[in-house]
Amino acid sequence: MTDFLDPFERMIAALFSPAAVRAAERGEPDDRAWSELAASGFLDALVPEDAGGAGVSFADIVPLWLVLGRHAVPCPVGETMIARALLAQAGRAAPDGPIAIAAQAPGAAGRVIGAALGRHLLVEWEGNLYLAAVPGEADGGDRELAASVRWDSEAATPVGPIVPGGLRRAAAVLRAALIAGAADRLTTMTAGYANVRIQFGKPIGKQQALQQQLAVMAEDMVAARIAAHIGGAGSFPPALAAAATAKSVASGAAARVAAIAHAVHGAIGISEEYDLQLYTRRLQAWRLADGSESYWNRLLGAERLAAPSGSVDFVRTALAPA
């Protein structure tokens, strides 16, 4: 996996600097960056080799999504990877350009992450996938590059059936990995700041109370990373329990990581010029996207109660790789 991961991280770091992320949020996306990303072949990482892709496993794609979170990538890169893989499974050619993903009924407005920069929308409705055009239908783009989207089933292209809830489960694992990546970056930034910020003659990182907060932050960062890997350990699209565990743990960690990062940095953390806000805003957006921790906790609890086995056996069977 290192053969893929290192060049991917170098490319993402070069294409999506903090300045490039800010430009995209101002509505000035770098089309050259997307063209270079598409030419690299990474968008087809999940597509089977016999369909022209790299054939990377779902487990191995999670580290790539962590990289996207570490750099607060503004384009729907992970979403496009999922969409192109599902289109290939259905024997359909993928359109050019970024693809946002959503699970919503036709005619209903839904807030979709990445839709502000997406050209197409792969949407799940009643166990079937449809491909719709986004331009002209999305409005209200915000700094998280989400937009309100409606799609028309008459105008959309039917793609084929999918495991009910499968698109949203895949999106949940993606969000968990993005959260884990951003949490990793925030933990590094916050620990570094605590070691250089001097107060009363010594670094604030020497204060016991602050050290305890940094420890909680690091624990949450690791928990989110483990949860994301659990979500990607099985089949694609993932099983309900795996996706629910990944998104529930990561979303719960996101709020604490963001709060501690801002508490340690003080007022500087919310300034436009300082990069911290790029990552904490993403954490909050990804926490809510495709279902908060409360949404996935309800689904996971219902599945556990419906299982005839005990909790230990449920964890062993429901979260074990298929």
Q: Which fold has domain 1-161?
A: Butyryl-Coa Dehydrogenase, subunit A; domain 1 (1.10.540)
| Per-residue model confidence (pLDDT) at position 216 | 98
pLDDT on residue 54: 93
Task: Give the tens place of pLDDT for each residue, 186-242.
Answer: 999 999 999 999 999 999 999 999 999 999 999 999 999 999 999 999 889 999 999
Which pLDDT value is given to residue 53?
94
Condensed to tens digits (0 to 9), the pLDDT of residues 268-300 reads 988 999 999 999 999 999 999 999 999 999 999
Q: What is the mean pLDDT of the chain?
A: 93
Report residue 253 as tokens. Answer: 């960690």
Residue 160: CB atoms within 10 Å:
13
Contacts of 108 (CB under 8 A, 6+ apart): 150
**How far from 92 is each of 101, 159, 175, 250, CA to CA, in Å?**
16, 7, 25, 32
pLDDT higher than threshold 90 for residue 45: yes
Share of the chain above pLDDT 90, in %: 81
Summarize pLDDT for 298-307 with one digit per residue, the tens. 999 999 999 9
What is the band of 2 on the pLDDT scale with cuts at 50, 70, 90? low
Give me the residues paired with residue 35 across strands: none
Q: What single DSSP character describes residue 30?
A: -
DSSP 8-state secondary structure symbol assigned to residue 307: -
Predicted local confidence at residue 179, as pLDDT? 98
User: Residue 135: what pLDDT?
Assistant: 56
| pLDDT beyond 90 at 34 | yes
The whole-angstrom separation of Cα 145 and Cα 141 is 6
Per-residue pLDDT for 138 more than 60?
Answer: no
Which pTM value belongs to this model?
0.95
Residue 237, preceding peptide bond in cis (omega within 30° of 0): yes
Which stretches of 13-103 are assigned E, i.e. beta strand? 99-103
Contacts of 286 (CB under 8 A, 6+ apart): 69, 113, 175, 178, 179, 182, 251, 254
Q: How far is CA 25 from CA 37, 138, 153, 280, 322, in A?
A: 19, 16, 30, 15, 39
Query: What pLDDT was estimated at residue 267?
Result: 87
Question: CA of 51: how far to CAs of 85, 93, 134, 278, in Å?
Answer: 10, 10, 26, 36
Residue that has been written with the tokens 């893929």 in this structure: 4
**pLDDT for res 140:** 59
Residues near 258 by Cβ (< 8 Å), separated by ≥ 6? 186, 280, 283, 284
Predicted confidence at residue 316, as pLDDT, reads 87
Backbone angles phi, psi at 316, to 5 degrees: -65, -40
Domain boundaries, the chain: 1-161, 167-319
The H or E element spanning position 159 is strand 157-161
**Coarse DSSP helix, strand, coil percentages of the chain, rounded to the nearest 5 percent:** 60, 10, 30
The more confident residue out of 188 and 317 is 188
Give SS3 for 124. Answer: strand
For 65-104, what is each residue's pLDDT tens digit?
999 999 999 999 999 999 999 999 999 999 999 999 999 9
Long-range contacts of 257-262 (CB under 8 A, 24+ apart): 257/183, 257/186, 257/187, 257/217, 257/220, 257/221, 257/224, 257/283, 258/186, 258/283, 258/284, 260/190, 260/213, 260/214, 260/216, 260/217, 261/186, 261/187, 261/189, 261/190, 261/217
Q: 196: how many CB neighbours lie within 10 A of its CB?
A: 9
Q: How confident is the model at residue 250 (pLDDT cuts 50, 70, 90)?
A: very high
Q: Which CATH class for the 167-319 domain?
A: mainly alpha
C-alpha 159 chain-centroid distance: 23
pLDDT computed for residue 208 by the predictor: 95
